[in-house]
Structure formats: structure tokens, C-alpha cells
Amino acid sequence: MRELDYGAAVERITEFIRESVDGAGADGVVVGVSGGIDSATVAYLAAKALGKEKVLGLIMPYYENRDLDDARLVCESLGIDYRVVNIKPIVDEFERAVGGLDTKSRGNVMARTRMVLLYAHANAKNCLVLGTSNRSEVLTGYFTKWGDGASDYAPLINLYKTEVWEVAKLLGVPERIIEKKPSAGLWEGQTDEDELGISYRLLDEILWRMVDLKMPKAEIAGELGISIERVEYVEKLVKGSEHKRRLPVGPVF
């Protein structure tokens, strides 16, 4: 992986957040706090950049589990104002309205419901929505289009997941959040790495070489000591999710 000066990265991101808020004439930011490392890191960065009084944490659980406790821990550790909005009645009513949803579709509705709530709060308070997606998720399409992928600014978008872990440690994010298995929380027992079919550490090593260094697939496989099929699998994720990384397009006349 590339070598980053994480202290300098924190300073650059906090400067970016301040400039973005000032440039928009906003009064602060809203962050969806899930109890995971990405949202925790964004909340810590936002509080460092703007001061805790300008950060609102929005906790939007569907399930009652440890994630809710971890999300509260983040907000209370920072001393930021936060609200808990149970999205289960909203999502369940949506499911009834459309006549049923499979697990993945329900997960996407959950993510999009959270996006709507984030923007409702942001609009009411003249705030911006800070997204929590990282580079690993964006490059592989591991996010819901117009759901968790929607925000005004995305402070972590150029940091790989393994780099987010290092930034989180530097910021003092609670250890139990850093150590927990990454999960989008879209269904009980779901984890990112199980769904992706690859560990973040290996994924990031492949992505960095493939996207940033533009190394040939065979060279990536040889350098990492893995099969070329593993590299091709990641390439398929990147190519297959290209539409998620751009605005809608149409024919040109």
C-alpha cells in the first residue's frame, strides 16, 4: 500500500471540511452515525474541523443491536448533539406499499431512507450532509446509489478502508469501534467482507495497484502472491459499478 502521513491527512481533511462549510455559507454539518468506523471517523473529523456545536449526529437504526450503542458512544464521546430516529416503521410501511421486498432491496430502501432523513435535518438547520463512503467502497460500488452514496461532501472518499483505520486510531476513535467487523447494517449478521467476498486488506492492495498504479493484472497477482482470478474478480467489481460513480447520462445530439 501507499505510505501516507496520517497526521497531514487529518489536517488536510479538516481544512477541507472547514472550507466546504464556509464556502457554502452553511451553519454546520449533519453526519449519519451508524456505530461503524467510517461514520465515527467522519464525526471525529467534523468535530475537530468545526467544533462540536456545529455537528449533528443522526442515528437511524432499523435493528436494536450493538451498533446503536456504538453510535451513541461516538456522539457522547465527542459531546456532539445527536438524534435517534427509528427507521423501522418507515421501511416496513414502504415494504407493505410495494408488496414485499427481498433482503437486498430492503437494505437499499433502508439506506435511501437514511439519506432522506439526513437531508431533511440538514435543510432544516442550514447544514451540509457529510458522507461516510471510503475509496474502497466507492471503487467497488459497495454502496447504495442515492443512499449512503449521496452527500454534499465525502471527507473519506480518497482514503482506502485500511487507511481509515489508521486515521481513526490517530483521532482517538474508541477501540471497540475500530476493532469491530465492518458492516453496512443492512440485515442481521451482515458483514462487508463476507458480502464482498474478500478482506479489505487484500482488496485495498489490489485496488491501489490496479487503479492508482495501473499495474497489469498478472503483475499484481505475482507481487501479492495470489491467483489472477482474484485480481479479475476485483476488476469486475470496479467495472461493473462504474454507473454508480457518475451522474445519469444520456445520448448527445
Q: Using the 8-state DSSP alphabet, how is residue 209 labeled? A: I
User: Which cell goes with 237?
Assistant: 467489481
Residue 224: exposure state from Cβ atoms within 10 A (0-12, 13-18, ≥19)? middle
Q: What residue type is 110 in one-letter code?
A: M
Phi, psi of 84 (to 5 degrees): -110, 120
Distance CA 211, CA 158 (A): 12
Count CB atoms within 10 A of the CB of residue 246.
7
At 156 the three-state DSSP class reads coil
Distance CA 116, CA 121 (A): 9
At 237 the three-state DSSP class reads helix
Give catalytic residue positions.
38, 137
